[in-house]
């Protein structure tokens, strides 16, 4: 018994029930008391039918008619108030469960490392969070109403039936095991159907997300028919599974109706033939019994369908808890300390890193980024430059080796203190679906309007922001959909500048800008990053020729480093990149000039 309790307590249902009732105990206590009152009032109404019928048919009982009428009114008043109370408090507790579970999942997601989101589709996460929380709420509601209100109502009505007519009640309950067996048969296919339906729902969300994000590609390559076919397939699968679930849930009702009809027919035969040798029941007793029998039909039907509902909801609850139970991919050290403020020196010592234990992307790198100087990382795509940024920001931990800032191992530093030292602008600019000013302010929540405007001016964004319909209060849309690529990039640069961190990471930060805007922003960055440790990833070598140090990264290793003039004098990797890039540029320029002539 104890082992069974512990097993249930550690399972998804047990955890959900214990957590929910512990957190929302006062709401559930009131709701359960109200359910008890509903059950008692329902059974009392059936019991009162004996006296009601006797008062109408027996002259001796008519003098009690007013008292009986008041009693009936009182019972239904109690039931009405209790039903309202039950619904309100159960809804409050259920809404709190949804909010709590969604907040828990989101907190868990925020604690996950970047690698978690690389390995899990957003549609899967979204489905688990939204549907899982709703399933958790639905499961608690089913358990509360099924095990408390419906079960107590059924017990009360059965008690009335046995009190009035024990023999007839025995006839009714001959069919009970048949109903139980029928419902158990239905449960076999419910869980498999629900799991398949969740997969189809995830596909619908995935198609919608891909359509929203890739509408330009869809239009250019005329993929409308292909996307529609994917959506039609997913929708049809969801529709089929939904119909299957409805079919299984609906079977319980007709089974109960058939059995109820058989029970009533049996009661009629037994009562009229006087089987059992007992005295014929009075009209009031028979009416009370039949009323209790008929009133027991609905709660009995709900109880019989409860197992089917629980099986269906447990799929969503399982997906929710499996997400909550996943290990954190990147944990803060238990003894994490704040980084001591320094000049901003960064050192990578014998660092090797691979994604998911595969081929090393960074292979035994030793690299120093000097404080308050600009270091450029160059090389062919896929060489590991962006991975170096991810390691410095501690999106990932190296397989071997250490990364130090001002001589302090960042794995021993708190996330907050580490990231407060770093500002970042990537080649894939991300903006939140809020106003321009709020997007810039995210870098420094306490910044004043004047400081935000100053950062925007430094990033050469103030002019176009001022021309927007509502200026700095203009909504940018989902991921800056209402802005051009260059405008988004300059807002992102303004956000990075506002942070005023002593380490600035720029990953192709000017890639979306035209030549004029790029030169303006470059001049601003040169001025504003004079006392900051800057690391730049650039594919256009012309933008980094003035860097204090250039590092050539190839296949995860440093193959060359130094200032531009030194590297150009060597017949090495940087010179090869330079000749390749500038010879291509000169050819394009010559072709343009020839075309102009």
Residue range(s) defining the domain that contains residue 153: 2-324
DSSP bridge pairs for 505: 424, 535
Whether residue 307 sits in one domain with residue 433: no
The residue among 269, 300, 324 that closes a domain is: 324
Determine, yes or no, domain membership for 517.
no
Domain assignment present for residue 294? The answer is yes
Q: What does the chain come to in residues?
A: 597
- Give the global pTM: 0.73
Question: How many distinct structural domains can be found in the chain?
Answer: 2
Q: Give exposure, 391-430, as e/b (b: 16+ Cβ within 10 Å).
A: bbbbebbbeebbbbbbebebeebbbebbbebbbbbbeebe
CA pair distance 117, 125, nearest whole angstrom = 9
Report if residue 543 sits inside a domain. no
Same domain? 280 vs 137: yes
Residue 551 domain flag: no
- Is 246 part of a structural domain of the chain? yes
Same domain, 82 and 224: yes
Tokens of 578: 């330079």
What confidence score (pLDDT) does residue 145 get? 86
324, 341, 356 - which closes a domain: 324
- Does residue 352 belong to any structural domain of this protein? no
Residues 6+ apart with CB under 8 A from 322: 128
Cα 257 → chain centroid: 41
Last residue in a domain, options 471, 500, 529: 500
Residue 579, domain member (yes or no): no
CA dist., res. 595 & res. 597, Å (int): 5
Could you tell me the CATH number of the domain that includes residue 437?
3.40.50.300
pLDDT at 115: 80
In-domain check, residue 526: no
Burial 205-240 (b: 16+ CB within 10 A, else e): bbbeebbeeeeeeeeeeebeeebeebeeebeebbee
**304 and 444 co-located in one domain:** no
Q: What is the pLDDT of residue 590?
A: 44
Do residue 120 and residue 257 come from a single domain?
Answer: yes
**What sign does the CA torsion over 74, 76, 77, 83 have?**
positive
Q: Residue-wise over 338-358: b if at least 16 C-beta within 10 A, else e?
A: ebeeeebbbbbbebebbeeee
pLDDT score for 176: 57
What pLDDT, on the 0 to 100 scale, is given for residue 596?
44
Mean pLDDT, consecutive 10-residue stretches, the chain (597 aa), reads 67 82 87 92 87 75 77 89 92 87 86 81 81 86 86 88 79 61 57 68 77 73 80 81 71 64 65 57 77 81 77 83 85 88 91 87 92 90 89 91 93 90 84 90 90 88 91 88 84 86 84 68 67 87 85 91 89 87 56 44
Given strand 557-562, what is the order of strands in its sheet? Answer: 422-425, 503-507, 533-537, 374-378, 549-554, 557-562
| Helix axes of 25-57 and 12-23: crossing angle, nearest 10 degrees | 90
């Amino acid at each position: 018994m104890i082992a069974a309790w512990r097993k249930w307590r550690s399972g998804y249902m047990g955890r959900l029930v214990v957590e929910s009732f512990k957190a929302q105990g006062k709401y559930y206590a009131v709701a359960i008391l109200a359910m008890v009152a509903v059950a008692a009032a329902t059974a009392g109404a059936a019991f009162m039918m004996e006296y009601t019928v006797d008062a109408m048919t027996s002259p001796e009982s008519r003098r009690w008619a007013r008292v009986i009428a008041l009693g009936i009114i009182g019972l239904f008043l109690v039931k009405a108030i209790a039903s309202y109370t039950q619904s309100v408090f159960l809804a409050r507790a259920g809404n709190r469960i949804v909010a709590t579970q969604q907040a828990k999942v989101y907190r868990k997601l925020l604690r996950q490392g970047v690698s978690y989101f690389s390995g899990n589709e957003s549609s899967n996460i979204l489905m688990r969070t939204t549907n899982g929380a709703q399933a958790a709420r639905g499961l608690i509601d089913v358990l509360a109403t099924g095990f408390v209100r419906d079960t107590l109502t059924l017990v009360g009505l059965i008690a009335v039936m046995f009190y009035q007519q024990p023999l007839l009640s025995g006839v009714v309950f001959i069919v009970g095991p048949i109903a139980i067996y029928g419902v158990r048969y239905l449960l076999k296919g419910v869980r498999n159907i629900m799991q398949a339906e969740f997969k189809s729902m995830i596909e619908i969300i995935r198609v919608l997300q891909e359509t929203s994000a890739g509408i330009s590609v869809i239009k250019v390559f005329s993929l409308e028919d292909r996307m529609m076919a994917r959506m039609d397939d997913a929708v049809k699968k969801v529709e089929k599974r939904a119909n299957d679930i409805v079919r299984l849930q609906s079977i319980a009702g007709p089974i109960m109706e058939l059995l109820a009809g058989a029970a009533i027919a049996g009661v009629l035969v037994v009562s009229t033939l006087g089987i059992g040798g007992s005295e014929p029941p009075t009209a009031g007793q028979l009416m009370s019994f039949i009323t209790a029998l008929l009133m027991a039909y609905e709660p009995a039907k709900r109880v019989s369908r409860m197992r089917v509902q629980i099986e269906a909801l447990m799929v969503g609850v399982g997906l929710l808890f499996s997400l909550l139970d996943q290990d954190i991919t990147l944990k803060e050290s238990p003894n994490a300390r704040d980084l001591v403020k320094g000049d901003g020196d960064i050192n990578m010592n014998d660092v090797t890193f691979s994604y998911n234990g595969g081929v090393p992307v960074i292979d035994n790198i030793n690299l120093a980024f000097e404080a308050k100087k600009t270091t450029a990382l160059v090389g062919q795509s896929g060489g590991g430059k962006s991975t170096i940024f991810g390691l410095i920001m501690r999106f990932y931990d190296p397989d071997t080796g250490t990364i130090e800032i001002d001589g302090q191992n960042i794995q021993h530093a708190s996330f907050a203190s580490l990231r407060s030292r770093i500002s970042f602008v990537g080649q894939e600019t991300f903006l939140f679906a809020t106003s321009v000013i709020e997007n810039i302010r995210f870098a420094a929540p306490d910044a004043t309007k004047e400081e935000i405007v100053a950062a925007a001016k430094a990033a050469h964004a103030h002019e176009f922001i001022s021309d927007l319909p509502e200026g700095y209060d203009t909504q940018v849309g989902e991921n800056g959909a209402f802005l051009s690529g260059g405008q988004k990039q300059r807002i992102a640069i303004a956000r990075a500048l506002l942070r005023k961190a002593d380490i600035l990471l720029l990953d192709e930060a000017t890639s979306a800008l035209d030549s004029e805007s790029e030169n303006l922003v470059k001049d601003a960055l040169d001025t504003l990053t004079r006392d900051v440790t800057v690391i730049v990833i650039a594919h256009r070598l012309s933008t980094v020729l003035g860097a204090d140090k250039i590092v050539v990264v190839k296949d995860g290793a440093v193959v060359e480093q130094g200032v531009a003039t030194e590297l150009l004098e060597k017949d090495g990797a940087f010179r090869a990149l330079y000749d390749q890039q500038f010879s291509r540029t000169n050819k394009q320029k010559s072709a343009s000039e020839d075309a102009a002539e």
